[in-house]
């Protein structure tokens, strides 16, 4: 029996990156192979044909985002082999399966309906736990066990919320875990408008799934809290453009230039 996807409006968007990784994995020369995404998609009751009209840029974006986060985690756990990783808004993410070094501690965090769906495909273990909560709830952060440093990752989550909500969450992390790091994807205000117009609407979802928060550049976060140190701002497509057809390379160049999608890696200073 296929898994039902009776999810909230924002939670439903977890199907987009799942589809993006599965599509990439079926290509002749994929830049990321995620067989688990293919298996999950085949077991979910949803008409994924609704996504076929999405642009190649959107599909590439979800894949490249995963690749960048994978690399940040790998570098982090080289420094901290027993690190704790918290996957905020994990959806049906498969990152743990790709990067586990056998000693990290991992938390998958998402809303109750998403965690319920996730349990159909993933199992908890001694080192991997599920947390059924909004990341905005102040209580879950107190349940984390940290043996080494801690890295928070978040893909496709923060721009669905208001700036003040994200700011308060960052302050909470800085208070609780000084020295910790975070990597997440962001979008400029222009990118938010384009995503709502070209991705959310074209995928058959409605305005209740629209993105909200956009930030022009990572440096702007410095005005939120003097404990925020930007380690890197990473364009999505810079390192893969040369592998693609000329027309696609031009589109991706402008996407990077206007920061329609980019990654921010930061540290909360002690």
Whole-number Å distance between alpha carbons of 114 and 58: 22
Provide the 8-state DSSP code for 179: T
Query: Average pLDDT in the 256-264 region?
Result: 89
The tokens describing 61, both together, are: 């974006």
pLDDT tops 90 at residue 173: yes
In CATH, which of 1.10.10.410, 3.90.470.20, 3.40.50.150, 3.90.420.10 is domain 3-268? 3.40.50.150
Whole-number Å distance between alpha carbons of 195 and 200: 6
Query: Average pLDDT in the 69-78 region?
Result: 98
Whole-number Å distance between alpha carbons of 94 and 42: 15
Would you kindly state where each structural domain of the chain is located, as residue ranges? 3-268
Q: Look at 90-99, 189-198, 202-211, 247-256 and tell me which has the smallest mean pLDDT.
A: 202-211
Instruction: Dump pLDDT digits (tens) for 47-60.
Output: 888 787 776 777 88
Cβ of 32: how many Cβ atoms within 10 Å?
17
Instruction: Dump pLDDT digits (tens) for 190-243.
Output: 888 877 776 555 555 555 567 889 999 999 999 999 999 999 999 988 877 666
Cβ of 128: how many Cβ atoms within 10 Å?
18
Grouping H, G, I as helix, E, B as strand and the rest as coil, residue 105 is: strand
* CA 165 from centre of chain: 17
What pLDDT is recorded for position 212?
Answer: 86
What pLDDT is recorded for position 116?
Answer: 93
pTM of the prediction? 0.90
What pLDDT is recorded for position 25?
Answer: 93
Instruction: Dump pLDDT digits (tens) for 9-25.
Output: 566 678 888 999 999 99
Q: In whole numbers, what is the pLDDT of the chain averaged over residues?
A: 88
Largest CA distance in the chain: 51
């Amino acid at each position: 029996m296929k898994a039902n996807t009776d999810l909230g409006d924002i939670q439903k968007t977890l199907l987009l990156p799942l589809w993006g990784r599965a599509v990439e994995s079926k290509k002749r020369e994929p830049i990321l192979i995620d067989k688990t995404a293919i298996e999950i998609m085949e077991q979910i009751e949803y008409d994924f044909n609704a996504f076929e009209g999405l642009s190649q840029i959107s599909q590439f974006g979800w894949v490249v985002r995963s690749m960048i986060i994978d690399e940040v985690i790998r570098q982090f756990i080289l420094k901290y082999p027993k690190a704790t990783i918290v996957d905020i808004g994990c959806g049906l993410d498969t990152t743990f399966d790709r990067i586990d070094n056998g000693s990290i501690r991992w938390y998958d965090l998402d809303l109750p309906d998403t965690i319920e769906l996730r349990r159909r495909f993933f199992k908890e273990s001694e080192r991997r736990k599920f947390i059924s909560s909004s990341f905005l709830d102040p209580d879950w952060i107190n349940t984390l066990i940290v043996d080494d440093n801690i890295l928070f990752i978040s893909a496709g989550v923060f721009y669905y919320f208001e700036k003040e909500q994200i700011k308060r969450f960052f302050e909470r992390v800085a208070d609780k875990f000084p020295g910790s790091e975070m990597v997440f994807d962001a979008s400029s205000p222009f990118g938010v408008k384009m995503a709502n117009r070209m991705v959310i609407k074209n995928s058959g979802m409605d305005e209740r799934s629209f993105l909200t928060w956009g930030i022009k550049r990572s440096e702007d976060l410095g005005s939120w809290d003097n404990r925020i140190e930007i380690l890197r701002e990473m364009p999505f497509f810079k390192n893969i453009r040369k592998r693609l057809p000329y027309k696609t390379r031009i589109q991706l160049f402008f996407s990077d230039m206007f920061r329609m999608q980019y990654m921010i890696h930061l540290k909360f200073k002690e």
